[in-house]
Structure 1
Amino acid sequence: MENAPIMMHSIDQEGRILQVSRFWASKLGYTPEEMVGHQSSDFLTDASRKKAIEDILPQFYKTGSVYNVEYDFVRKDGTEIPVLLSASASLDENGKFVRSLAIIFDNSAAKRSAAALIQSQRTDAIGQLVGGVAHDFNNLLTVIQGNLEFLRSDPDSSERMSFIDDALRATSRGSSLTQQLLAYGRRSHLMPKQIDLNRAVREMDSMMRRVIPASISIQTVEGGGLWTVNVDRHQLDTAILNIVNNACDAMPNSGGKLTIETCNVRISEAYVTERYEDIVPGRYVMLAISDNGHGMGKTIMGKVFEPFYTTKAVGKGSGLGLSMVFGFLKQSKGSVRIYSEVGVGTTFKLYFPAVSGSDQPSTLDQIQEEITGYVKSAKILVVEDEPDVRNVIVRQLSELGLGVAQAASGDEAFAMLAEGYRPEVMLTDIVMPGALQGPELAREARKMIDGLKVIFISGYPKEAAIHGNGVSADDIQFVKPVSKNTLLKGVTELLNKDV
């Protein structure tokens, strides 16, 4: 054993090394004499030592064998070597552990190959993602550009409001797409509202008709007496658009039919038990999207919700669309089912838990009715380094008759405050050029203005929002882009707290 060109060692019932091959000792940079008598776990990394002592060794002493255990040993020079260890024990006539023989294999090459494979897959996935995102954004930009061109060529058209609404909805979906990408791999921050699914589908109808090919017809079947659901509207629109785009790709160029249907359903406990469904029994509103395209086999159906999985050509899809649909439904406490038959078509059924009541967003007129005389006299400081973004926010706030001042950086805003400007509310970007970022600016401003209210606006999802010094629990944090009504409602909410 000592002279065999194999990595081997033997331990006793206490885990001490009894023997070690010179080949294994030299691999670790020791002589056999330096290792014998020490605990075998002494030569492991902290993580592997914990794994050995708490999990592997108790199992080994009980069963007498372990196979292909992954450990990281530490060489004498401090470098690590990943290994696979298999061992069997010798027992005496009473079944008591006497000693063991462990055979160790260097796992370094396999680890490197696995890492290279993962990197290659990641590179391929990023390539698919870039192509897919470009495809999705080009669709949205086509809608925005087309409607703006209609307005420019005929600004007095009777359809002008329809053009504007479609462009705004495309902008919202573009915002949703960027937030989903930034949130990918984390938990997406949902902002659910109580909505009527029939109304949501109707509002998307004209948009879908402009996006899908003219050869494809759309039929909408609205369920009567539909229950209210509590969902994030932007995510819902994106989920529908993702499924519709897939359906269009699945239908032949000669034409096809897309059917969108809503209805109330009750899912019983017996149904869940009999079919092993992972959905909570109760009342749901179902949204079904069907096509008469080429359909899918069981193999593809089993993978469609996997991230980055796509059957489309490079640049035609990111492979993220349906995985995001799946994640969105799970976060919404709902479920999604897929039914497909090759040569017949595919149906996606989205189940949303039903709720009662409604919570419709406030209109600008309703917001203005809430504003008191004190609020109307309030001063607001807008701190944003992007001129176009800053101009839009200032214009939106000015519609309420508020006194609005602006600064292009945290440093510029601090100088204004140091000279005596005293706003009731400060609306600031989080990341800006200069020494003072959003949180630091808020901290310094509150030293000068007692009770200052702050709204932070970021280009990143809310789960990455800031915390800590300079940030109050009463502060509001928005993710760009922010709709006018949302922004004005947030400002009004903060100002009315003192009324």
Structure 2
Amino acid sequence: MLNPKSTAETDQMQQIIHQLTVAAIGLNAANSIVVINEAGLNYLELSQQPVTKLKIEDLIPDVYSLMRRSREDQQNYMVGLAKRGLADPFNAKLSFSFFKRDYPINEQQVSTLIFVEALNEAQLDELNDQQSMQFDMLSCYAGGIAHDLNNILNVITGHLEILQLSAAQDLNIKKCVCSALKGVERGRVLSARLGHLAYHEQKNASPCYLNKIIQDNLELLQELVSNSVEISIDLTEHLLPVELDSSYFIDVLINLCMNANNAMAGQGRIVIKTFLASAQELNVTAAENQQIFIGLSIEDSGCGIPKVIQDKIFSPFFTTKMNNKGTGLGLSLVQSYMHNHNGFITLKSKENEGSCFYLYFPALQSSKVVNNEKEPNMEIEQKLNGKHILVVDDEAPILHLLKEFLGIYGLNVKTANSGSEGLDLAQNEDFDLILSDLVMPGEMDGAEFASLLLQQKPDASIIFMSGYTDNKLIDKEGLANIPIISKPFRKKELLSQMDVVLT
């Protein structure tokens, strides 16, 4: 038997809602519409529609995602799309109030109250600015976590590789080490996704071939999606190179493939294609010397994206995923990456027929593609043997690791646990090469250390090591040409980079 208090409250609540002059919609505990006031019917052009036959998702397409985020983030309002006349979408400020009761609830009792207010361009810009500030704070926090995680992964990687060298003849140990290194690589990818929240501009862009990057990472992509999802490739041969930051591009591939995986509920097919496209056929305005683009498409056989929300999918924090399964940042970061590499991204999607994202990069007419995966060989080892090296890092395990590892190859290594200590050593001794962490606590980080040293010793050879730069080199004159090796790095990458700098 229902509590009389419940029935009385239901009538009182509905009377109050009907008296409001703002558009208001009341939902019951099952999220069915039980009341829309007169202001709401007029505002949303629903006067001719029977309220009992309306569904809230027909009025506010992403309502469940917005409600979830409002509850979790404890925000009274969210920005989303609403519809007039069930067809005309507009940007709206949606305010949510949730009611919790400790007695039986009847079907007409309001559990969620939604206020709908249209936003003009100025209001939308103001709210977007507030959202951008939140994004910047999140970026800073995520970057700090990525930096610490990369230091940990670097120590693990280094000791595994030392073990690999010392147990080269033991196949069982070698197999275990290889498996562990694959696990570290997965950790590197996850750390990169954190660090990329702070990504705003090109860092290490260089000429690359899209086909090679896709082929080199196909196994990783297949491991990340569900077992019932097949990834196939259709790559056009002999494509021109493009200029991009390949490490961040891998994250773009991961984001798009994971989105496709989720859209198919873990079962279906993803097709990755590359192709040639002209500015004319793409109907884009391009510079005279930039008429050719290299295209990449990632297509899935999933549920598709409703047309009404397709304009919002690249907005930061916009997500339709429920139960904490999405942050709403993936596609925003992909679009930012494309913009910063002078490219663009488009979408073709239809509900129940899947989606296809198209990425277009300006093609380089002629360029020598640098192979950064060069294996260290005996010639490199001989050239490095006997070199005097200084390693500067605030992490004692990393100092110990690099001293041990570089010692295996015959290098004489000294270490410093701060920028100031490194500067004292570098001022009083001549080193063939200096390896310095870029992000260090205290008054002197890696950038400041290098700037002061180069003022006194302009010919000093330096390599920065970092998993997160926080744009520390932007305003530092004379540091732009210093190479950065990203943590966690494999030791073959470090030896190859040292060889390049010392040659």
TM-score, with length taken from structure 2: 0.59
* Residue 230 of structure 1, aligned match among 240, 243, 251: 243
Q: Where does residue 324 of structure 1 map in the other structure?
A: 333
C-alpha separation between the residues in 2 aligned to 1:124 and 1:466? 23
Query: Quick check: 1:200 aligned with 2:208?
Result: no
C-alpha separation between the residues in 2 aligned to 1:476 and 1:129? 24
C-alpha separation between the residues in 2 aligned to 1:307 and 1:155? 48
Q: Where does residue 230 of structure 2 map in the other structure?
A: 217
* Residue 365 of structure 1, aligned match among 376, 389, 403: 376
Query: Quick check: 1:251 aligned with 2:264?
Result: yes
Structure 1 residue runs without a partner (length 5+)? 1-112
- Go from structure 1 to structure 2 and tell me whether the alpha carbon gap of 1:189 and 1:283 turns closer, same or farther (over 3 Å shift): closer
- Go from structure 1 to structure 2 and tell me whether the alpha carbon gap of 1:165 and 1:115 turns closer, same or farther (over 3 Å shift): same
Superposition pairs for residues 56-455 of structure 1, below 5 Å?
Answer: 156=172, 163=179, 166-167=182-183, 169-183=185-199, 187-252=200-265, 255-262=267-274, 264-269=275-280, 271-273=281-283, 277=284, 282-313=291-322, 315-355=324-364, 356=366, 357-361=368-372, 363-365=374-376, 369=379, 376-398=385-407, 400-413=409-422, 416=425, 421-432=429-440, 436-439=444-447, 441-442=449-450, 451-455=459-463
- Go from structure 1 to structure 2 and tell me whether the alpha carbon gap of 1:169 and 1:194 turns closer, same or farther (over 3 Å shift): farther
**CA shift digits 1:262-300 (9 cap, x unpaired):** 2x323153x344xxx356663333221111111112222
**CA shift digits 1:380-424 (9 cap, x unpaired):** 111111123323433454454321111222354456568x54423
**CA shift digits 1:315-346 (9 cap, x unpaired):** 32221111111122222222222110101110
Letter in 1 for 2:198: L
SS at match of 2:172: coil
CA contact (8 A) 2:202 2:340 kept: no
C-alpha separation between the residues in 2 aligned to 1:422 and 1:125? 44
Q: Larger radius of gyration, structure 1 or 2?
A: 1
C-alpha separation between the residues in 2 aligned to 1:326 and 1:114? 20
C-alpha separation between the residues in 2 aligned to 1:425 and 1:278? 46
SS at match of 2:259: helix
TM-score, with length taken from structure 1: 0.59
**CA shift digits 1:210-260 (9 cap, x unpaired):** 22111222222232334333322212211111011111111135x222222
CA contact (8 A) 2:230 2:269 kept: yes
C-alpha separation between the residues in 1 aligned to 2:183 and 2:130? 38
**CA shift digits 1:340-366 (9 cap, x unpaired):** 010111011222233344322252336
C-alpha separation between the residues in 2 aligned to 1:210 and 1:172? 14
SS at match of 1:464: coil
SS at match of 1:388: helix
SS at match of 2:352: coil
C-alpha separation between the residues in 2 aligned to 1:493 and 1:409? 26
- Go from structure 1 to structure 2 and tell me whether the alpha carbon gap of 1:449 and 1:488 turns closer, same or farther (over 3 Å shift): same
Deviation of 1:453 (Å):
3.1
CA contact (8 A) 2:209 2:240 kept: yes
CA contact (8 A) 1:132 1:319 kept: no
- Go from structure 1 to structure 2 and tell me whether the alpha carbon gap of 1:364 and 1:284 turns closer, same or farther (over 3 Å shift): same
- Go from structure 1 to structure 2 and tell me whether the alpha carbon gap of 1:228 and 1:416 turns closer, same or farther (over 3 Å shift): closer
CA contact (8 A) 1:379 1:425 kept: yes
Bigger Cα displacement from structure 2, 449-458 vs 155-164: 155-164
CA contact (8 A) 1:459 1:479 kept: yes
- Go from structure 1 to structure 2 and tell me whether the alpha carbon gap of 1:494 and 1:129 turns closer, same or farther (over 3 Å shift): closer
CA contact (8 A) 1:456 1:477 kept: yes
Letter in 2 for 1:334: G
C-alpha separation between the residues in 2 aligned to 1:174 and 1:290? 23
Letter in 1 for 2:276: V
Among the aligned pairs, what percent are the same residue? 25
C-alpha separation between the residues in 2 aligned to 1:360 and 1:173? 21
C-alpha separation between the residues in 1 aligned to 2:394 and 2:358? 44
Deviation of 1:181 (Å):
1.4
Letter in 1 for 2:379: E
SS at match of 1:194: strand
C-alpha separation between the residues in 2 aligned to 1:210 and 1:363? 25
- Go from structure 1 to structure 2 and tell me whether the alpha carbon gap of 1:246 and 1:488 turns closer, same or farther (over 3 Å shift): same
C-alpha separation between the residues in 2 aligned to 1:416 and 1:341? 63
- Go from structure 1 to structure 2 and tell me whether the alpha carbon gap of 1:347 and 1:455 turns closer, same or farther (over 3 Å shift): same
CA contact (8 A) 2:346 2:359 kept: yes
CA contact (8 A) 2:439 2:468 kept: no
* Residue 460 of structure 1, aligned match among 465, 468, 486: 468
CA contact (8 A) 1:182 1:461 kept: no
- Go from structure 1 to structure 2 and tell me whether the alpha carbon gap of 1:416 and 1:128 turns closer, same or farther (over 3 Å shift): closer
C-alpha separation between the residues in 2 aligned to 1:132 and 1:422? 38
Superposition pairs for residues 463-474 of structure 1, below 5 Å?
Answer: 463-465=471-473
Bigger Cα displacement from structure 2, 327-336 vs 440-449: 440-449
Q: Where does residue 98 of structure 1 map in the other structure?
A: none
- Go from structure 1 to structure 2 and tell me whether the alpha carbon gap of 1:293 and 1:397 turns closer, same or farther (over 3 Å shift): same
